[in-house]
Amino acid sequence: MREYLLTLCITAAVTYLLTGPVRKFAIVAGAMPEIRARDVHREPTPRLGGIAMFFGLCAGLLVADHLTNLSTVFANSNEPRALLSGAALIWLIGVLDDKFEIDALIKLGGQMIAAGVMVMQGLTILWLPVPKAGTVALTQWQGTLLTVALVVITINAVNFVDGLDGLAAGMVCIAAAAFFMYAYRMWYSYGIEAAAPATLFAAILMGMCLGFLPHNMHPARIFMGDSGSMLIGLVLAAGAISITGQVDPDSLFGGSEREAVHQMVPLYIPLLLPLTIIAIPAADLVLAIVRRTWRGQSPFAADRGHLHHRLLEIGHSHSRAVLIMYFWSALIAFGSLAYSVNSASMWIVLGVVFLSAIGLVLLLLPRFTPRAPRWAEAFVPPRYRRGRPAAQHPAEPLRPAPTGETQEEGQKGQEEPRTPVAAGVAGVNGATAIGPRSRFLDRRNAGSSR
């Protein structure tokens, strides 16, 4: 565990320290597109944050290769090299898109090529667990097509959800945390060495997101762009492929339990965890494709119909919309993880149902404005406090008028000497005198325009 934490910290530190210089480079390079109709930010913001994230990935893999225990992952498997090759290709395509806005079909072709490069180096799905049938081995073409499809879907799901400050990085970080816990348990609890690469990928992915988030939280100083969103999507897909399609599920159970596993679908939920952790981005992707196709548009045509856009439309603030998306991602990912550990516990199901109810209340919160009790108003934001009429302030004691006059006041012309006034009776532009002349000045000032 210490080596994983060291790898995570190094990845996060390199990403965090490089994001500042990358931001300056993006400004100089002109990677600051004008604000589009679907954007929610108000000022042009530089992209190319994926450059820092890619070098964080490289630093994490380099450090892991020189550690005692993690170096065996590189010695026994070619998957880290396959990941680096595919990541470099998809990152280069993303950098070009952030700068020159390349066509969507070209990006799709690049994503398929990057997935094919990883397949050629051994990172592919070899078999799938099928309920009541056991482990089904896939042919080379079946495994290749399924791997490419999973990579492309995951990349675009993460890319589609990257619409608010800190949203994509935070959701992927939550998914990577749940994925790391599951993969680490499979490796050290069950002794399955094939889960080691996926565990390493999840730790590095967490470091990439954590290092970039401080620069990307609202209001964001830099965006990750397609160079970052497609990169973290590919890393997430690589971990899912590694642990779902290369770890034999029959190796988790032996003896008389094997037949029971084939008959009980719930025990396959741990093997489907890599798919559940991208449930929110995948749902947004499917809805976007259906919505655009129904309107007669291209599935790659951008719009303001994503889930985060809808949260803003019903009244949520930017930060609250991001936190709600975090909440649902964590609920699905860690709920699936908890159910995989003990699928027979009803407390886990009841807990997920209870948290889901809380999530629904949070979604409807803008339609109902809660008011805090009077004794708690000092501890809540002003929008949750009860409105009250302005209190009439008691009159201040009379004070003598000042005798001196500054040079600036003398240049404004002769004025009447100040008279004692009662506080709380204020005129326009700060006039506080009372009497016929002051009321006349108030009416005159009120009728003038600034």
Helix axes 104-120, 140-161, angle to 10 degrees: 130
pLDDT of residue 53: 96
Helix, strand, or coil (residue 136): strand
Burial of 97 (0-12, 13-18, 19+ CB in 10 A): buried
Residues 6+ apart with CB under 8 A from 259: none
159 labeled part of a ligand binding site: yes
Tell me what the mean pLDDT of segment 268-292 comes to. Answer: 67
Tell me what the mean pLDDT of segment 2-7 comes to. Answer: 92
pLDDT of residue 435: 45
The model's pTM: 0.71
Lowest mean pLDDT among 155-164, 221-230, 263-272, 274-283: 263-272
Tell me the pLDDT band of 411, cut-offs 50, 70 and 90: very low
Of residues 10 and 398, more confidence is placed in 10
Alpha helices in 277-342 (DSSP H): 279-294, 307-313, 318-341
HEC string for 204-248: HHHHHHHHHHHHHCCCCCCCCHHHHHHHHHHHHHHHHHHHHHCCC
Of residues 196 and 408, more confidence is placed in 196
Q: Which two tokens stand for residue 288?
A: 């976007």
- Cα gap 41→47, rounded to integer Å: 13
pLDDT at 293 over 90: no
pLDDT of residue 264: 37
Residues 6+ apart with CB under 8 A from 418: 401, 402, 433
Of residues 111 and 334, more confidence is placed in 111
Lowest mean pLDDT among 7-21, 71-85, 330-344: 330-344
Lowest mean pLDDT among 26-35, 231-240, 249-258, 285-294: 249-258
Tell me the pLDDT band of 22, cut-offs 50, 70 and 90: very high
Q: Which of 276, 278, 271, 274 is nearest to 247 (CA)?
A: 271
pLDDT of residue 283: 75
pLDDT tens for each residue of 113-153 = 999 999 999 898 887 766 566 667 788 898 899 899 989 98
pLDDT of residue 116: 94
Of residues 450 and 33, more confidence is placed in 33
Q: Which of 337, 77, 129 is nearest to 248 (CA)?
A: 129
pLDDT of residue 396: 44
pLDDT of residue 88: 96
Burial of 144 (0-12, 13-18, 19+ CB in 10 A): middle
98 labeled part of a ligand binding site: no
pLDDT of residue 50: 93
Please state, rounded to an integer, the average pLDDT across all residues of the chain. 75
Quick one: which H or E segment has residue 128? strand 127-130
Lowest mean pLDDT among 48-62, 88-102, 159-173: 159-173
pLDDT at 309 over 70: no
pLDDT at 51 over 60: yes
Of residues 202 and 380, more confidence is placed in 202
pLDDT at 304 over 50: yes
Q: Count of alpha carbons within 13 Å of 170, Cβ hemisphere only?
A: 22
pLDDT of residue 329: 82
pLDDT of residue 183: 84
pLDDT of residue 405: 43
| Contact present, 325 and 167 (Cβ < 8 Å) | yes
pLDDT tens for each residue of 345-396 = 677 778 877 887 887 777 666 655 556 677 777 766 665 566 654 444 444 4
